[in-house]
Amino acid sequence: MLGNEIVSVQAMQVFTWRSHPGIEVFVRTRNGSEGHAVCTAGISIGTHEVKFAYDGGTKWKGMGVEGAVRNVEEIIAPHIIGMDASKQYEVDSAMLNICENAKEQIGGNAIAATSAAVLKAGAKSLGIPLYYHIGGVNAMYLPVPGVPAAAGHKRYGGCVTTPDTKPTYSFMCFGFDSFSEASYAGWEVQELWKDTMRNLGIYPPDYYGLFEIPEGIFNTDEELWELMTKTINKAGYEGKIGIQVDVASDCYYDKNDKLYKGLFSRNPKTKEEMLELYIKAVKDYPFVIIEDPFFEDDYLSHAELVKNVDIMIVGDDLFTTNIERVAHGASLGAANAVLLKVNQVGTISDAMEMVQYAYRKGYGIMPCESRGEGEAIADYCVGINAFAVREMAVGVVANRFLAIEKELGSKARFSGAEGLYGKRLINIRK
């Protein structure tokens, strides 16, 4: 085993950009290599995601994770110390076999953070980049990135459940020959968008770069789509940059009335009316990705949308990175891409198994950094040759992508328009 043996596993509660605590795990190997990873909850949380261990009570609004920290150091650590950090599947299996329903008993956050920390420690102990540890010689494609644009639910009277930032919109940069070119285009269109928002009296953007659209600016989101389209065209990127929206439709779905309330406009909508709205949006505006367009258990509506539009339909709450849910979706033709969030499912091994299954079924993969992955999401993307990534055209994660592109040299490939749709080669609507 040489220096790959795990000799130390420690954890701590940390602050995150989510405004609630997360758990960070540190794994060290005998040769001094260390991997650390953070796991935190997201904004839109699907009911089928793995359950996190929270302290409850009033402190940290019940979302403290000191108990999860203890579970890492007192329960997980004794079972994986002495194991080979470079053998990810074996370490993950050891954690899941600690007890029955380990993810639930120990906490999905405790297991996920440890699993990701082991992955990083394993790569460092072998002296190889993280993306190479994940994908080997096949790791070469950089994904289509984007820049954040707009967010908010309050403009049409709120939503059925919180969170308070959905839907979120982004500009996706696909029509380029390299990630660096796409990154620059993203920066350019983002600068123009900032000017557009300031002219409307909307500022500043939030920590993520999203502008909260207040009530009274637009009568419907179609006016926002028009504004985004004009910004793309003004930047000179018509047919090269498109619109992505994370609808997070569960936040707007009233299960009793079976209506979507306050989504895109004040009018409540049936699933049939939502379908018509999406078809019109794709026809009239440069949408390239729609995420979670329907309630998380409405597979049939997701399938119907795929039949009627020629863009990427991504399942996040629909699939929750869960291979069983992806399999069910694939059997019905529901969506055509999966949002990858390792922390939704628990371990790196679980996530990678889902990725390979999705690829075999012709689905695309779109990783997302929202659960604490940080710049490691860039390595995940390249390691699995992901088609697209949620935003990340600029900023710290973009720096990691640019570094990987430089490291790969002539081997580097950009997914571009073809990668954005995987095997579904289509005409990009302008």
Catalytic residue annotation: 215, 341
195: exposed, middle or buried (Cβ count in 10 Å: 0-12, 13-18, 19+): exposed
Residues 6+ apart with CB under 8 A from 280: none
What is the number of H-type helices and E-type strands within the chain? Answer: 16, 16
The alpha carbon dihedral of 417, 395, 281, 328 has a sign of: positive
Q: Computed over its alpha carbons, how large is the radius of gyration of the chain?
A: 21
CA distance 190 to 175: 16
DSSP string of 205-241, one letter each residue: --TTSPEE--TTS-SSHHHHHHHHHHHHHHTT-TTTE
Strand partners, 312: 289
Contact 68, 53 (CB under 8 A): yes
In 323-430, where does DSSP find H-type helix? 323-332, 342-345, 348-360, 376-384, 396-408, 416-420
CA distance 212 to 215: 10
77: helix, coil or strand?
A: helix
Which residue reads 């920590």 in tokens? 207
211-240 exposure pattern, b = at least 16 Cβ within 10 A, e = fewer? bbbeeebbeebbebbebbbebbeebebeeb
In 27-164, where does DSSP find H-type helix? 66-70, 77-80, 88-96, 102-106, 108-126, 130-135
Q: Name the pairing type of β-strands 253-254 and 34-39.
A: unpaired
